[in-house]
Structure 1
């Protein structure tokens, strides 16, 4: 029974990380372009100027709203609403990448100055370290890196062929 549970955990972790790797690899340039927009630059200045507790509220709201997106999307897909479920997961993940990850990277030091957040973040980090030490997680990460490499290689080949086509078109 334990062996079946470990195998199922491995398969689920591998699928999750492969899908996540492909999604993040494809969406990351788009997200970076959005984050580089001038509006976000001025917003960053305002966010950095906030005190710790308003920063915590600013961080918590999108996290609370966007964290349930994956289960909702899986439910929609499972009940036969494939298109709506896919749209929900894509929009939710893009928003989460843009908002939550950027907010955490910008405000981590300020948020850690709040004792409760520091304690929670420490426990979260410990739990993630423990989870990442398991073999299924490590295997899934290897598959994730391979998938990311494959997707990047494909896009580089497409880009190179498009550049070659443009150069050969100009030479005609």
Structure 2
């Protein structure tokens, strides 16, 4: 399918739109001002209350972004604008989940984003489940909003129990949940009322959700992070488990990358001692920074035909051959990339932006590995490995000729 044709296709989902014109949905388009109004109100409330919090300001801007993207969709009426509209809503939902995790559970931002990951997984899996039910009364685009409603309801129910000032947050969270319920009803009814109410009810979806975002932000503005560490550990065990799983998963990837990278680079360096290859490596080290950066595209482009050939073999029943070629291409490409990086690293570090992000990546990797190596499981593995080595040495001594 032609992607340009797909994303450029016109969409007619609502009663008000009768033609593909720009102002075919004037009421639906203009009611997006409710999001702009909510964003301005939150920004003003932060100033009045002297809450200098970048996370809340960012959420206020994301509310305004919803209004802009939804306005684009209801004026242009094309599929790419619909994706932009849904994406801006998802951005606010994930940002709210992360901020709620930080404000209510007291997690640092390095872990609070796991709240967004859990919320995104819950909404995504819930949407897939609802789409599998194939209900005749529910509009398909409403499915993921029902999962969102469930997430909001669960959050509203948990807030009074988890937040130190849950009583102050509770009316705002349940108010947001109730208003979103009304919004869902109005969205579901839109096509049903077209014959006798041509304007439809989708404009009510916009007005209701503008208020939903304002109520949800009010709940965050009155929240105070917990100070009792035991309470935090006891009540946030799912995030602790998720964080541990994430750290160990990243550690396995990083350890494999670090050890495999060094060994593969050493193998390629051995071949680099040959006279012809030594001259090529000298020319590579003499390249300017951006030419060195572009050089990393060579392994990718060189191995692309090989990987396509492997896919061809897989498609024609040669499974072992195809998998073997893919693994060999991956190992070979990694080895060449590792050697190229060792040759060009001093040159690349002259680029300020590259040095900045490379140092941040190394610091992140060191933190992950340090966290794992400080764990009881890792220490136990180190002791077990030392005991195995001692056992092997004793066995060798037993069979050593005297």
TM-score (norm 2): 0.26
Match of 2:357 among 112, 120, 126: 120
- Higher normalized contact order (CA 8 Å, seq sep 6+, divided by chain length): 1
Deviation of the 1:65 alpha carbon? 8.3
Q: Which runs of 5+ in 2 are unaligned?
A: 1-237, 393-402
- Decide which moves more: 131-140 or 114-123: 131-140
- For 1:9-48, what aligned pairs fall within 5 Å after superposition? 10=248, 13-14=251-252, 17=255, 30-48=267-285
Q: Which has the higher helix share?
A: 1
User: Residue 89 in 1 paired to residue 327 in 2?
Assistant: yes
Deviation of the 1:51 alpha carbon? 1.4
Instruction: Determine helix, strand or coil for the equivalent of 2:295.
Output: helix
Match of 1:109 among 337, 340, 346: 346
Deviation of the 1:19 alpha carbon? 10
Deviation of the 1:89 alpha carbon? 2.3
Residues 52-76 of structure 1, C-alpha deviation per residue, up to 9 Å, x if partnerless? 221121135547988xx9xxx9xx8
Inter-CA distance 130–92: structure 2 relative to 1 (3 Å threshold): same
Deviation of the 1:28 alpha carbon? 6.8
TM-score (norm 1): 0.53
Number of residue equivalences: 134
Deviation of the 1:8 alpha carbon? 7.8
Residues 68-102 of structure 1, C-alpha deviation per residue, up to 9 Å, x if partnerless? x9xxx9xx8xxxx45523431232122211x2211
Contact 1:59 1:100 in 2 (8 A): yes
Inter-CA distance 91–136: structure 2 relative to 1 (3 Å threshold): farther
Q: Which runs of 5+ in 1 are unaligned?
A: 154-172
Larger Rg: 2
